[in-house]
Structure 1
Amino acid sequence: PGGKNACCSVSTSQELHKDTSLLYNFNWDHCGKMKPACKRHFIQDTCLYECSPNLGPWIQQVNDSWRRERFRNVPLCKEDCESWWEDCRTSYTCKSDWHKGWNWTSGSNKCPAQAVCRTFESYFPTPAALCEGLWSHSYQVSQYSRGSGRCIQMWFEPAQGNPNEEVARFYALAMTSRAMLHGIGPLLLSLALMLQLWLLD
């Protein structure tokens, strides 16, 4: 899917569907073939990460060697997290945090020495453990449901518009007003107190 506020450009989408994506040289099949139902969540996750203009409110500056910014605590709709976990629980991996600790000597990620390939469910016993732990808290599982306008959907039908636009607007406004409250709050409070004293005189 391409176009305005699309999840991904056509070339990015095609690239992500390969077993080892050239985007990061990241190999999802590091513990044998990942099941297609599971892999599609990772394709969608990378799509969202790479291409969504609606994750702005959750961008943080970082000082990693390989990037300057990251997302943190994006509120992922609970059903999207649950179906990700359900579709992946019987696929295999060797790590519970995929952000770091891989062996990259071959050019793509391999399991580190002594890491054992086990089911996702043994590394991620709950949906929250998967969605929040996998990328070091890039996501936070929301208590809100799809369509609530309060959580980011990994899956949506582009023809019906992008529901994540409304979510991004809501949180951007909330964060802006919170920042203003912290910045201007003490000033307003002291002005209110001065006004009260003046009225009492």
Structure 2
Amino acid sequence: VLPAAKEAQCIPWRKNACCSHNTSQELHKDPSLLYNFNLDHCGKIEPACQRHFIQDNCLYECSPNLGPWIQEVNQSWRKERFLDVPLCKEDCQQWWEDCRTSYTCKSNWHKGWDWSSGSNKCPAGATCRTFETYFPTPAALCEGIWSRSYKLSNYNRGSGRCIQMWFDPAQGNPNEEVARFYALAMSAGAMPHGIGLLLLSLVPMLHLWLLS
């Protein structure tokens, strides 16, 4: 269970979190000991921009609703990742708007850094420019920065068809419904066409049953 003190941005997952108190604390530091990743590799980023990266990490570490998009990977620092999580349009747009005037030197933050100092630094030859230069559109940022961890969704917040990075926990976790929908849709897609359509038609009834 997450505390309500310094880890404010991870609080949306407080009632059902996959991360510990210590993890939540570390996610709010820059650089965090979890990754030794320095957001300020091209100078201090705007606080509004930093908030989105903290929220991104909270979602990654704490959310129990990303199962449909988890993929196994063979990397030294992790064994699984999520891929093509459908991020709600507004969440992606606001992330881009709040970061467009901050500076970075890379359009893919998953790889290619100079780690010789123990923390990430811009590789030789890389130039610090605004986010908007490296990420000219919201889709370029959300889909490119972590090698397709996210996919810009055509759906809006509250639609039940896209993952919200930001939500009010007092109103419940909207990502629970989204995860159920996609888990069932993915299962149906692996079945004969007729059975798949039948299962998809049962999604609304399944939702009501799970909430009852």
Which band: TM-score by shorter chain? 0.7 to 0.9
- Partner residue of 2:97? 86
Distance 2:14 2:165 in 1: 17
Shift in Å, 1:69: 1.1
Q: Do the aligned partners of residues 131 and 174 (structure 1) sit closer, same or farther apart at CA in structure 2, a change above 3 Å counting?
A: same
Over the aligned positions, Cα root-mean-square deviation in angstroms equals 1.6
Is the radius of gyration larger for structure 1 or structure 2?
Answer: 1
Tell me, which stretches of 5 or more residues in structure 1 are unaligned? 186-201
Matched ranges for 1:176-191 at <5 A: 176-181=187-192
- Partner residue of 2:152? 141
Distance 1:3 1:81 in 2: 23
- Partner residue of 1:192? none
Shift in Å, 1:50: 0.8
Distance 1:166 1:7 in 2: 18
- Partner residue of 1:99? 110
Tell me, which stretches of 5 or more residues in structure 2 are unaligned? 1-10, 197-212
**More moved, 156-165 vs 142-151:** 156-165
Q: What letter is aligned with 2:37?
A: F
- Partner residue of 2:201? none
- Partner residue of 2:204? none
| TM-score, structure 1 normalization | 0.87
Shift in Å, 1:90: 0.2
Q: Aligned pair 1:161/2:149, yes or no?
A: no
Q: Aligned pair 1:24/2:35, yes or no?
A: yes
Contact kept? 1:7, 1:47, Cα under 8 Å: no
Residue in structure 1 matching 2:69, options 52, 58, 68 = 58
**Percent identity between the two aligned chains:** 81
- Partner residue of 2:207? none
Distance 2:77 2:140 in 1: 25
Contact kept? 1:7, 1:48, Cα under 8 Å: no
Q: What letter is aligned with 2:144?
A: G
Q: Do the aligned partners of residues 4 and 150 (structure 1) sit closer, same or farther apart at CA in structure 2, a change above 3 Å counting?
A: same
**More moved, 78-87 vs 10-19:** 10-19
- Partner residue of 2:143? 132
Q: Do the aligned partners of residues 143 and 88 (structure 1) sit closer, same or farther apart at CA in structure 2, a change above 3 Å counting?
A: same
Distance 1:7 1:45 in 2: 14
Residue in structure 2 matching 1:39, options 45, 50, 55 = 50
**More moved, 15-24 vs 48-57:** 15-24
